Amino acid sequence: MNTPSTDAPAPPAADDVLYRVVHETAYAYATPVELAHHLAHLCPLDHAAQERLDYVCEIHPEPEHRHSDVDVFGNQREFFAYYSPHDTLSVRAVSLVRVRAPRAADWSASPAWDTVREQLLYRAGKPYVAEAQYTFGTHFSPLFAAAATYAQPSFPAGRPLLDGALDLMHRIHADFTYNPDSTEVQTRAPQALELRAGVCQDYAHVMISALRSLGLAARYISGYLRSHPRPGEEQLVGADASHAWVAVWCPVNGWVEFDPTNNRQPAADYVRIAMGRDFADVSPLRGVIRGGGEHTLKVGVHVSAVRAD
Protein backbone atom coordinates (compact mmCIF):
# COMPACT_ATOMS: atom_id res chain seq x y z
CA MET A 1 0.00 0.00 0.00
CA ASN A 2 1.29 3.46 -0.82
CA THR A 3 1.85 5.71 2.17
CA PRO A 4 -0.77 8.48 1.94
CA SER A 5 0.15 12.09 2.45
CA THR A 6 -1.10 13.67 5.65
CA ASP A 7 -0.91 17.20 4.31
CA ALA A 8 -4.07 19.22 4.83
CA PRO A 9 -6.40 18.73 1.85
CA ALA A 10 -7.13 21.64 -0.44
CA PRO A 11 -10.22 23.62 0.65
CA PRO A 12 -13.37 22.55 -1.20
CA ALA A 13 -15.07 24.87 -3.66
CA ALA A 14 -17.08 27.58 -1.98
CA ASP A 15 -20.03 27.66 -4.40
CA ASP A 16 -23.48 27.21 -2.92
CA VAL A 17 -25.64 24.69 -4.78
CA LEU A 18 -29.42 24.34 -4.68
CA TYR A 19 -30.48 20.68 -4.77
CA ARG A 20 -33.77 18.92 -5.32
CA VAL A 21 -33.70 15.55 -3.56
CA VAL A 22 -36.22 12.79 -4.26
CA HIS A 23 -36.15 9.64 -2.12
CA GLU A 24 -38.75 7.01 -3.00
CA THR A 25 -39.41 3.76 -1.14
CA ALA A 26 -42.04 1.20 -2.17
CA TYR A 27 -43.02 -2.05 -0.42
CA ALA A 28 -45.33 -4.70 -1.87
CA TYR A 29 -46.40 -7.39 0.60
CA ALA A 30 -47.42 -10.94 -0.30
CA THR A 31 -50.19 -10.88 2.33
CA PRO A 32 -51.82 -7.90 4.03
CA VAL A 33 -50.00 -6.15 6.86
CA GLU A 34 -52.42 -6.00 9.78
CA LEU A 35 -50.55 -3.57 12.02
CA ALA A 36 -47.51 -1.38 11.37
CA HIS A 37 -45.43 1.27 13.13
CA HIS A 38 -42.75 3.10 11.10
CA LEU A 39 -40.02 5.64 11.81
CA ALA A 40 -38.47 7.75 9.03
CA HIS A 41 -35.37 9.96 8.86
CA LEU A 42 -35.84 11.57 5.44
CA CYS A 43 -35.92 15.30 6.20
CA PRO A 44 -32.61 17.13 5.51
CA LEU A 45 -30.88 18.81 8.41
CA ASP A 46 -30.59 22.53 8.91
CA HIS A 47 -26.84 22.54 9.36
CA ALA A 48 -23.85 24.86 9.23
CA ALA A 49 -23.17 23.61 5.70
CA GLN A 50 -26.74 23.52 4.39
CA GLU A 51 -30.17 25.13 4.63
CA ARG A 52 -33.42 23.19 4.25
CA LEU A 53 -35.77 25.30 2.13
CA ASP A 54 -38.63 22.86 1.61
CA TYR A 55 -39.61 19.31 2.53
CA VAL A 56 -42.70 17.29 1.64
CA CYS A 57 -43.23 13.62 2.46
CA GLU A 58 -46.09 11.77 0.78
CA ILE A 59 -47.12 8.43 2.31
CA HIS A 60 -49.60 6.00 0.76
CA PRO A 61 -51.89 4.62 1.97
CA GLU A 62 -52.62 7.54 4.27
CA PRO A 63 -51.38 6.63 7.77
CA GLU A 64 -53.93 6.42 10.54
CA HIS A 65 -51.49 8.10 12.89
CA ARG A 66 -48.67 10.46 11.95
CA HIS A 67 -46.49 12.96 13.79
CA SER A 68 -42.98 14.39 13.65
CA ASP A 69 -40.48 15.62 16.20
CA VAL A 70 -36.76 16.21 16.72
CA ASP A 71 -34.61 13.50 18.28
CA VAL A 72 -31.82 13.94 20.84
CA PHE A 73 -29.25 14.34 18.04
CA GLY A 74 -31.16 17.21 16.40
CA ASN A 75 -32.61 15.18 13.53
CA GLN A 76 -36.12 15.69 12.22
CA ARG A 77 -37.94 12.34 12.31
CA GLU A 78 -41.44 11.15 11.49
CA PHE A 79 -43.58 8.42 13.05
CA PHE A 80 -46.54 6.91 11.24
CA ALA A 81 -48.74 3.91 11.91
CA TYR A 82 -51.45 1.70 10.43
CA TYR A 83 -54.09 -0.22 12.36
CA SER A 84 -55.96 -1.72 9.40
CA PRO A 85 -54.83 -4.12 6.63
CA HIS A 86 -52.78 -2.87 3.66
CA ASP A 87 -50.67 -4.70 1.08
CA THR A 88 -48.47 -1.86 -0.21
CA LEU A 89 -46.56 1.06 1.28
CA SER A 90 -44.96 3.93 -0.62
CA VAL A 91 -43.04 6.85 0.85
CA ARG A 92 -41.88 9.73 -1.37
CA ALA A 93 -39.82 12.49 0.24
CA VAL A 94 -39.00 15.58 -1.85
CA SER A 95 -36.65 18.22 -0.47
CA LEU A 96 -35.11 21.49 -1.58
CA VAL A 97 -31.75 22.13 0.09
CA ARG A 98 -29.13 24.82 -0.35
CA VAL A 99 -25.70 23.32 0.32
CA ARG A 100 -22.37 25.04 0.73
CA ALA A 101 -18.93 23.54 1.24
CA PRO A 102 -18.21 23.04 4.96
CA ARG A 103 -15.95 25.64 6.52
CA ALA A 104 -12.36 24.57 5.97
CA ALA A 105 -10.79 23.21 9.14
CA ASP A 106 -7.79 25.01 10.61
CA TRP A 107 -5.39 22.12 10.14
CA SER A 108 -2.56 23.90 11.95
CA ALA A 109 -4.70 24.29 15.07
CA SER A 110 -5.43 20.57 15.44
CA PRO A 111 -4.25 19.36 18.85
CA ALA A 112 -2.54 16.02 19.33
CA TRP A 113 -4.98 13.13 19.23
CA ASP A 114 -3.86 11.80 22.65
CA THR A 115 -4.49 15.22 24.18
CA VAL A 116 -8.03 15.15 22.79
CA ARG A 117 -8.52 11.63 24.16
CA GLU A 118 -7.57 12.86 27.64
CA GLN A 119 -10.03 15.73 27.28
CA LEU A 120 -12.84 13.30 26.48
CA LEU A 121 -12.11 10.92 29.38
CA TYR A 122 -14.50 11.19 32.33
CA ARG A 123 -13.08 11.88 35.76
CA ALA A 124 -14.86 12.91 38.94
CA GLY A 125 -14.97 16.67 39.23
CA LYS A 126 -13.82 17.21 35.66
CA PRO A 127 -15.99 19.44 33.40
CA TYR A 128 -18.34 17.40 31.23
CA VAL A 129 -17.54 17.36 27.50
CA ALA A 130 -20.79 16.76 25.61
CA GLU A 131 -19.01 15.16 22.65
CA ALA A 132 -17.87 12.32 24.96
CA GLN A 133 -21.21 10.60 24.26
CA TYR A 134 -19.74 9.69 20.85
CA THR A 135 -16.79 7.79 22.34
CA PHE A 136 -18.82 4.78 23.49
CA GLY A 137 -19.37 1.59 21.53
CA THR A 138 -22.70 0.97 19.81
CA HIS A 139 -24.35 -2.00 18.13
CA PHE A 140 -22.90 -1.36 14.67
CA SER A 141 -19.69 0.34 15.84
CA PRO A 142 -18.57 -1.43 19.03
CA LEU A 143 -15.23 -0.91 20.74
CA PHE A 144 -12.98 -3.89 19.99
CA ALA A 145 -9.27 -4.61 20.07
CA ALA A 146 -8.87 -5.25 16.34
CA ALA A 147 -10.27 -1.79 15.57
CA ALA A 148 -7.78 -0.12 17.91
CA THR A 149 -4.96 -2.18 16.41
CA TYR A 150 -6.02 -1.19 12.90
CA ALA A 151 -6.20 2.51 13.83
CA GLN A 152 -2.93 2.70 15.75
CA PRO A 153 -0.51 3.21 12.78
CA SER A 154 -2.42 6.39 11.93
CA PHE A 155 -2.11 7.72 15.47
CA PRO A 156 1.45 7.63 16.82
CA ALA A 157 1.94 9.58 20.04
CA GLY A 158 1.61 13.32 19.60
CA ARG A 159 0.29 13.28 16.03
CA PRO A 160 -2.29 16.01 15.28
CA LEU A 161 -5.78 14.55 15.43
CA LEU A 162 -6.85 15.69 11.96
CA ASP A 163 -3.69 14.30 10.37
CA GLY A 164 -4.40 10.95 12.01
CA ALA A 165 -8.05 10.94 10.90
CA LEU A 166 -7.07 11.82 7.34
CA ASP A 167 -4.50 9.02 7.26
CA LEU A 168 -7.01 6.54 8.66
CA MET A 169 -9.50 7.53 5.96
CA HIS A 170 -6.85 6.98 3.26
CA ARG A 171 -5.96 3.56 4.68
CA ILE A 172 -9.54 2.34 4.91
CA HIS A 173 -10.17 3.41 1.33
CA ALA A 174 -7.01 1.64 0.16
CA ASP A 175 -7.50 -1.54 2.21
CA PHE A 176 -11.21 -2.12 1.59
CA THR A 177 -13.05 -3.25 -1.52
CA TYR A 178 -16.40 -1.65 -2.31
CA ASN A 179 -18.65 -4.68 -2.84
CA PRO A 180 -22.42 -4.47 -2.26
CA ASP A 181 -22.65 -8.28 -2.26
CA SER A 182 -20.18 -8.77 0.59
CA THR A 183 -22.27 -7.41 3.47
CA GLU A 184 -25.88 -6.80 4.52
CA VAL A 185 -27.59 -3.91 6.25
CA GLN A 186 -27.18 -5.77 9.58
CA THR A 187 -23.38 -6.16 9.20
CA ARG A 188 -21.39 -4.72 12.09
CA ALA A 189 -17.91 -3.16 12.09
CA PRO A 190 -16.04 -6.28 13.36
CA GLN A 191 -17.30 -8.35 10.44
CA ALA A 192 -16.63 -5.59 7.90
CA LEU A 193 -13.09 -5.08 9.22
CA GLU A 194 -12.40 -8.79 8.95
CA LEU A 195 -13.77 -8.93 5.40
CA ARG A 196 -12.05 -5.72 4.31
CA ALA A 197 -15.09 -5.15 2.10
CA GLY A 198 -18.54 -3.63 2.16
CA VAL A 199 -20.50 -0.52 1.27
CA CYS A 200 -20.44 3.06 2.55
CA GLN A 201 -22.27 2.07 5.75
CA ASP A 202 -19.54 -0.49 6.51
CA TYR A 203 -16.70 1.91 5.72
CA ALA A 204 -18.23 4.45 8.09
CA HIS A 205 -18.85 1.95 10.90
CA VAL A 206 -15.26 0.66 10.69
CA MET A 207 -13.79 4.16 10.79
CA ILE A 208 -16.03 5.09 13.74
CA SER A 209 -15.08 1.94 15.67
CA ALA A 210 -11.39 2.58 14.97
CA LEU A 211 -11.58 6.16 16.23
CA ARG A 212 -13.68 5.35 19.29
CA SER A 213 -11.52 2.37 20.19
CA LEU A 214 -8.71 4.91 20.67
CA GLY A 215 -10.94 7.08 22.87
CA LEU A 216 -11.87 9.67 20.22
CA ALA A 217 -15.34 11.03 19.45
CA ALA A 218 -16.83 10.09 16.08
CA ARG A 219 -20.34 10.17 14.70
CA TYR A 220 -22.22 8.68 11.75
CA ILE A 221 -23.76 10.90 9.07
CA SER A 222 -26.39 9.72 6.61
CA GLY A 223 -27.26 11.63 3.48
CA TYR A 224 -26.91 11.78 -0.28
CA LEU A 225 -24.49 12.70 -3.04
CA ARG A 226 -25.06 14.64 -6.23
CA SER A 227 -26.42 12.11 -8.77
CA HIS A 228 -24.74 13.65 -11.82
CA PRO A 229 -21.38 15.34 -11.30
CA ARG A 230 -20.33 18.48 -13.12
CA PRO A 231 -18.40 18.03 -16.39
CA GLY A 232 -14.92 16.79 -15.63
CA GLU A 233 -15.81 15.63 -12.09
CA GLU A 234 -15.62 11.98 -11.09
CA GLN A 235 -18.81 10.07 -10.28
CA LEU A 236 -18.73 9.35 -6.55
CA VAL A 237 -19.51 5.97 -5.01
CA GLY A 238 -22.88 6.19 -3.26
CA ALA A 239 -24.68 8.50 -5.66
CA ASP A 240 -28.28 7.48 -6.44
CA ALA A 241 -28.56 5.82 -3.02
CA SER A 242 -28.36 6.76 0.62
CA HIS A 243 -24.78 7.49 1.55
CA ALA A 244 -22.88 7.47 4.86
CA TRP A 245 -19.73 9.11 6.12
CA VAL A 246 -18.02 10.12 9.38
CA ALA A 247 -17.31 13.19 11.49
CA VAL A 248 -14.59 13.33 14.13
CA TRP A 249 -14.62 15.89 16.93
CA CYS A 250 -11.62 18.18 17.09
CA PRO A 251 -11.36 21.03 19.62
CA VAL A 252 -11.15 24.43 17.90
CA ASN A 253 -12.51 22.96 14.65
CA GLY A 254 -15.57 21.15 16.02
CA TRP A 255 -16.91 18.27 13.92
CA VAL A 256 -14.78 17.60 10.83
CA GLU A 257 -16.17 15.27 8.14
CA PHE A 258 -14.43 12.42 6.28
CA ASP A 259 -15.79 10.08 3.60
CA PRO A 260 -13.69 6.88 3.59
CA THR A 261 -15.73 5.36 0.74
CA ASN A 262 -14.64 8.11 -1.65
CA ASN A 263 -11.37 9.02 0.10
CA ARG A 264 -12.21 12.70 0.42
CA GLN A 265 -13.72 15.31 2.67
CA PRO A 266 -17.35 16.18 1.92
CA ALA A 267 -17.90 19.34 -0.10
CA ALA A 268 -20.92 21.05 -1.63
CA ASP A 269 -22.03 17.83 -3.36
CA TYR A 270 -23.12 16.17 -0.08
CA VAL A 271 -26.60 16.55 1.44
CA ARG A 272 -26.92 15.70 5.14
CA ILE A 273 -30.09 13.99 6.36
CA ALA A 274 -29.30 12.84 9.90
CA MET A 275 -26.44 12.38 12.37
CA GLY A 276 -26.12 9.85 15.17
CA ARG A 277 -23.96 7.24 16.81
CA ASP A 278 -24.37 4.68 14.02
CA PHE A 279 -26.84 3.54 11.36
CA ALA A 280 -29.38 2.40 13.96
CA ASP A 281 -29.98 6.02 15.01
CA VAL A 282 -30.60 7.36 11.52
CA SER A 283 -32.04 4.59 9.33
CA PRO A 284 -34.02 6.29 6.50
CA LEU A 285 -37.06 4.06 7.07
CA ARG A 286 -37.60 1.29 9.57
CA GLY A 287 -40.59 -0.31 11.17
CA VAL A 288 -42.31 -3.13 13.02
CA ILE A 289 -45.14 -4.91 11.25
CA ARG A 290 -47.53 -7.78 11.88
CA GLY A 291 -48.32 -9.85 8.82
CA GLY A 292 -47.13 -9.09 5.32
CA GLY A 293 -45.29 -12.34 4.61
CA GLU A 294 -42.66 -12.03 1.90
CA HIS A 295 -42.22 -8.59 0.39
CA THR A 296 -40.45 -6.76 -2.42
CA LEU A 297 -38.68 -3.46 -1.83
CA LYS A 298 -37.72 -0.77 -4.31
CA VAL A 299 -35.70 2.29 -3.30
CA GLY A 300 -34.69 5.18 -5.54
CA VAL A 301 -32.73 8.33 -4.78
CA HIS A 302 -32.05 11.22 -7.12
CA VAL A 303 -30.18 14.41 -6.25
CA SER A 304 -30.22 17.09 -8.94
CA ALA A 305 -28.69 20.55 -8.88
CA VAL A 306 -31.40 23.12 -9.53
CA ARG A 307 -29.09 26.10 -9.62
CA ALA A 308 -25.50 26.90 -8.68
CA ASP A 309 -24.88 30.37 -7.24
Per-residue model confidence (pLDDT) at position 104? 84
Q: Check: CATH 2.60.40.2250 for 17-99+284-308?
A: yes
More confident: 299 or 237: 299
pTM of the predicted model, to two decimals?
0.90
User: DSSP string of 170-236?
Assistant: HHHHHH-EE-TTS--TT--HHHHHHHTEE-HHHHHHHHHHHHHHTT--EEEEEEEE-SSPPTTPPPP
pLDDT at 260 > cutoff 70: yes
pLDDT at 142 > cutoff 80: yes
Q: Domain residue spans in the chain?
A: 17-99+284-308, 107-282
What average pLDDT score do residues 73-88 get?
Answer: 96
pLDDT grade for 234, boundaries at 50, 70 and 90? low
Cis? peptide before 180, omega within 30° of 0: no
Name the fold adopted by 107-282: C8orf32 fold (3.10.620)
What average pLDDT score do residues 148-152 get?
Answer: 98
Distance CA 54, CA 306 (A): 13
What is the crossing angle of helices 161-175 and 113-120, to 10°?
100
Same CATH fold assignment for domains 17-99+284-308 and 107-282: no
Q: Measuring CA to CA, which residue among 278, 305, 304 is closest to residue 200?
A: 278
* Phi, psi for residue 99 in degrees, rounded to 5: -115, 140
Helix (H/G/I), strand (E/B), else coil: 14: coil
Per-residue model confidence (pLDDT) at position 309? 44
